[in-house]
Structure formats: structure tokens, C-alpha cells
Chain A
């Protein structure tokens, strides 16, 4: 079963705009990670945020985590056509650190040039 849900399921924006994706999960977590997947290929790790962190930045990526609401958001600033991909959040629990990741269903992002 899926741990969480991403919102929206699909997002279409113009190059240069910001893209925001949200993820909600059901159970207490240890860490939350975001991954990108291009055209049904392997997943690329983007960023990890620990349960005791509230915000993290990496280049054009900004991730927030609200454990009280069991939700996270991924912001991609100044988007590029190359950012077109599916984005997944994944959580692990205190009992499955580094092993079992539980993924959401993903947000499909389309960035138009």
C-alpha cells in the first residue's frame, strides 16, 4: 500500500515559473526523501529531510516538512524544460531506516519552453 499521496497528480507550467508539489503521509516517519523519475526510468535522489528538520535547500530545490500535519512540499524555483519528470516523495520509519522506502503515487511535472 502507498504511504502517502502527492498533490497535484499533474502540473503543467512555463519555463521560469516555480513548481510546488505536496506530499502527505500517514504514519510517523524518520526521514522523508524526494526522488525524480524521467520517462519510466530509474529514480534519482534529490533531497532528504529528517523528521527533526523543518526546511532544507539544495540548489533550486526547497523542501519543507510539517510533522504535525504529516506533510511535505517540494518547491522547484525558476523551472527549466529539463525539470519535466515525475516527482515522488518517499518515507522511511524508525524501524526501517535506510531499507524500506514507502513511496507516494507521484506528481507528473511538465515544463513548457
Chain B
């Protein structure tokens, strides 16, 4: 079975630009969560979506938004990029009926110059 996939793998953007990151969960998983991991730190929660509805939001500005599609894939959008948005963006999927573990994708490395 395919794990969580994310695209693109790497991305370089300029300050002020907008970026869209994509995530496909494990087949059968209906919950997707997004995390930001700055170098040298642990991941920080951004959003959780379950059955296409936002179920949780971390302490991130409104420049960050996300959505989940009918096939449970998800997009994370970040507008007006700042240098501080440079990070590894991780997507995780889970299935409440199959335990509480979250399965992470390989991440998208975003560099803002």
C-alpha cells in the first residue's frame, strides 16, 4: 500500500509570493493534518481536516489556509511568503477507527528567499 505522498519535494519561492503544497493520505484515511517544522525544532501543528471539515487550527496567521477534497487529499496554501516560512511542511494522515497513530509523508522543503 502507498504511504502518504506529498508534492512537490522541494520548492524555492521569493518573499511575497504564494505557494500551494499537496498531500495524498493513505487509502482509507479520512483525516489529514499539516505541520510546519523549522530546522532544529519539532513539528508544529497547523491544521487538521476530517471529512473535508476543519477540525483544528494551530497558532498560525491567516496567511495559512488549507482545504480537503472529496477524495480526502489536501492542499496547504501560504500567501505573502516571509523568510520565516522557510521550513519542512509535513502532512500526516490517520484513521480514527484504526488507532491514534499518525502516518507522515516525506514532507515538502520550502525555501523562501
Contacts and interface: CB of A to CB of B under 8 A. Distances in A.
A96 to B, nearest CB: 6
Contacts, number: 74
B88 interface: yes
A42 B107 contact: yes
Interface string B85-113: 00010101010100111111111010000
B104 A44 contact: yes
- Range of interface residues on A (Cβ < 8 Å): 20 to 34
A45 B102 contact: yes
Interface string A53-75: 00000000000000000000000
Contacts of B92: 43, 101
Contacts of B44: 2, 103
Given A101-B33, A106-B41, 5 more contacts: A40-B39, A45-B101, A97-B96, A102-B45, A106-B42
